[in-house]
Amino acid sequence: MSEPPVLEIRDLHVTFTAHGREVPAVRGVDLTIERGQTLALLGESGSGKSVTAKAVMGLLDQPNVRVRCETARLGGRDLLTMAPDERRALRGSAMTLVFQDALSALNPVLSIGDQIGELYRVHQRLSRRQARERSIEMLNLVGIPAPAKRIDDYPHQFSGGMRQRILVAMAVALEPDLIIADEPTTALDVTVQAQILELIDRLRQELGTAVLLITHDLGVAAEVSDRVSVMYAGRIVESGQVDELYDLPAHPYTAALLAAIPDLDSPASELRAIPGAPPSPSEVPPGCSFAPRCERASEVCTTTRPPLTLLPAGTGRHTACHHSEEMLNA
């Protein structure tokens, strides 16, 4: 392959220490995203998907968190051997983060012009006037009407959808290699959600940026991603091309999720519910984490943890299940 992937993470572990106990939130996650590609990291609350995003951004530099990783490369640069200052310079320019809640991610006492302009002033040392001009261009790009007039407004003067657009503008302002979008549309209404997803997708195509989309919504992941990685209890249990993964899931968890959500077109009388609840990160069962809730679980599942292995069928499909062959032949 000629070009290195935009993001390459191997064997990421994140462990929190709380009240003297160790809580492994992420336990060996691999991520690879090519240029211009969208990878959806799909999981429920507590599955470790947001922690993974924060670890990639390097936002977990806290005394009670331990981040361990074999490889971490962003566009050929090694994030592990880099000095903290260098890494900080990459945040906001080479990799950026779009948060779920735009109101708490924006500073309420600074005008949005100041907040977008700050990126240009800090990272590119532009003058106030130049930064302002570039900020207006960015607002125009993300579809804020009359950007020159609104640039001096404060976050509370915008609607929820507009605020999310402003966050997207800040994320793409310095043309990053990678945008991490952490549940970017969860706080939004359906009609606005569609607008924001379309915006992110358009910018990805125009700028060739790679996108890591963190979501819990199977629908959202299906709409915009190229590849999907499904997380359960701190591990990736299945990953693959979006169409292959949805058409024929190789992991019982993915299959169960798809069966558990109601279908708009063909309402069934009963949903196929998954028994039980996801395990707490501090009490993950030995063997396969999904085994206690899995209808295919056998003896081996409760004792031996299945490794994430490449499947012969499909394009780069991986799954961590002892019964994946049965799943695919069913």
Residues that bind other proteins (CB under 8 A): 44-45, 159-162, 189-195, 197-198, 216-223, 242-243, 246-247, 256-258, 260-264, 267-275, 277-278, 293
Least separation in angstroms between residue 165's CB and other proteins is 10
DSSP 27: E
For the bound state, the minimum distance from the C-beta of residue 215 to other proteins, rounded and expressed in Å, comes to 10
AA letter at 96: T
Minimal distance, residue 45 CB to other proteins, in Å: 6
Q: Which is nearer to other proteins, 87 or 204 (CB)?
A: 204
CB nearer to other proteins: pick between 148 and 260: 260
Least distance CB 107 / other proteins (angstroms): 21
Q: How far apart are CA 314 and CA 245, in angstroms?
A: 9
Residue nearer to other proteins on the CB measure, 51 or 257: 257
Q: Is the Cβ of residue 134 or residue 235 nearer to other proteins in the bound state?
A: 235
- The least distance separating other proteins from the CB of residue 159, rounded to whole angstroms, comes to 4
- We find the least distance from the C-beta atom of residue 69 to other proteins, in angstroms, to be 27
| Three-state helix/strand/coil letters over the chain | CCCCCCEEEEEEEEEEEECCEEEEEEEEEEEEECCCCEEEEECCCCCCHHHHHHHHHCCCCCCCEEEECCEEEECCEECCCCCHHHHHHHECCCEEEECCCHHHHCCCCCCHHHHHHHHHHHHCCCCHHHHHHHHHHHHHHCCCCCHHHHCCCCHHHCCHHHHHHHHHHHHHCCCCCEEEEECCCCCCCHHHHHHHHHHHHHHHHHHCCEEEEEECCHHHHHHHCCEEEEEECCEEEEEEEHHHHHHCCCCHHHHHHHHHCCCCCCCCCCCCCCCCCCCCCCCCCCCCCCHHHCCCCCHHHHHCCCCCEECCCCCCCEECCCCHHHHHHC
Please report how close the Cβ of residue 325 comes to other proteins at its closest, in angstroms. Answer: 23
Comparing CB distances to other proteins, the nearer of 191 and 329 is: 191
Q: Nearest distance from residue 246's CB to other proteins, in Å?
A: 5
The secondary structure of residue 69, as a DSSP letter, is -
* Shorter beta-carbon distance to other proteins: residue 227 or 322: 227
Q: Which is nearer to other proteins, 120 or 158 (CB)?
A: 158
CB of 97 to other proteins, least distance (A): 22
CB nearer to other proteins: pick between 55 and 242: 242
Query: Which of left, alpha, beta for 32 (phi over 0: left; psi -120 to 50: alpha)?
Result: beta
Pairwise CA distance, residues 170 & 161, whole Å: 14
3-state class (DSSP) for residue 150: helix
Residue type, 152: D
159 Cβ neighbours under 8 A, 6+ residues apart: none
| Nearer of residues 80 and 277 to other proteins, judged by Cβ | 277
